[in-house]
């Protein structure tokens, strides 16, 4: 979707709201497709003292298999968006992923929102930030409680213990 900004480009204080949804079901991430549901985006672009600032919120549900405990999961994903829109990218802007060039007097929302999602995806898909994962020895899901295994010894201590036992 292209968002027309001609009304506010030269009008400090002007605001253009937007609401759209984005289909990222084909976006591959680490071998899976974690965003099968539409991504809903809502926000506005405001001309703040001559600078076009886009703010908003993206929400969807993340579907995946946890990288730590291997369980399939679904959870809410919400991303807050803050980007600067410029009529022409200057050299230093190329280093800033949150600065976008307008297409004439229009903002390419799909492009901006897709970038926001990609930049916000964690490098691992986790069922929750504090997932405890599986025991490396017995494979028990530690989210369900501790396992019977003894605590893994620090390998340096293990060597020391072997030495002392001799």
Q: Answer yes or no whether residue 127 interacts with Zn ion by CB under 5 A.
A: yes
Query: Which residue, 64, 76, 78, is CA-closest to 30?
Result: 64
Among 69, 85, 116, 117, binds Zn ion (CB under 5 A): 69
Q: Answer yes or no whether residue 118 interacts with Zn ion by CB under 5 A.
A: no
Among 137, 158, 159, 161, binds Zn ion (CB under 5 A): 137
Question: What's the chain's length in residues?
Answer: 166
Minimum CB–partner distance for residue 63 and Zn ion (Å): 13
Q: Answer yes or no whether residue 8 interacts with Zn ion by CB under 5 A.
A: no
Q: Answer yes or no whether residue 153 interacts with Zn ion by CB under 5 A.
A: no
Q: Answer yes or no whether residue 41 interacts with Zn ion by CB under 5 A.
A: no
Structure tokens at 101: 């060039």
CB closer to Zn ion out of 14 and 133: 133
Query: b vs e for 1-28, b when ≥16 Cβ sit within 10 Å of the residue's Cβ?
Result: eebebeebbeeeeeebebebbbebeebe
Helix (H, G, I), strand (E, B) or coil at 90: coil
Structure tokens at 138: 């017995």
Point out which residues bind Zn ion (CB under 5 A). Answer: 66, 68-69, 127, 131, 135, 137-138, 147, 149
């Amino acid at each position: 979707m292209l968002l027309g900004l001609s009304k506010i480009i030269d009008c400090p204080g002007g605001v253009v709201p937007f609401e759209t949804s984005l289909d990222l079901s084909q976006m591959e991430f680490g071998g899976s497709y974690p965003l099968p549901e539409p991504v809903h985006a809502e926000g506005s672009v405001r001309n703040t003292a001559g600078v076009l600032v886009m703010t908003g919120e993206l929400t969807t549900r993340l579907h995946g298999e946890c990288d730590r405990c291997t369980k399939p999961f679904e959870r809410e994903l919400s991303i807050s968006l803050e980007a600067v829109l410029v009529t022409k990218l200057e050299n230093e802007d190329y280093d800033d992923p949150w600065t976008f060039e307008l297409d004439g007097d229009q903002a390419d929302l799909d492009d901006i929102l897709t970038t926001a999602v990609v930049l916000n995806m964690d490098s691992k898909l986790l069922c929750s930030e504090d997932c405890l994962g599986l025991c490396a020895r017995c494979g028990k899901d530690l989210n369900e409680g501790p396992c019977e295994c003894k605590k893994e010894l620090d390998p340096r201590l293990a060597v020391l213990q072997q030495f002392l036992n001799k």
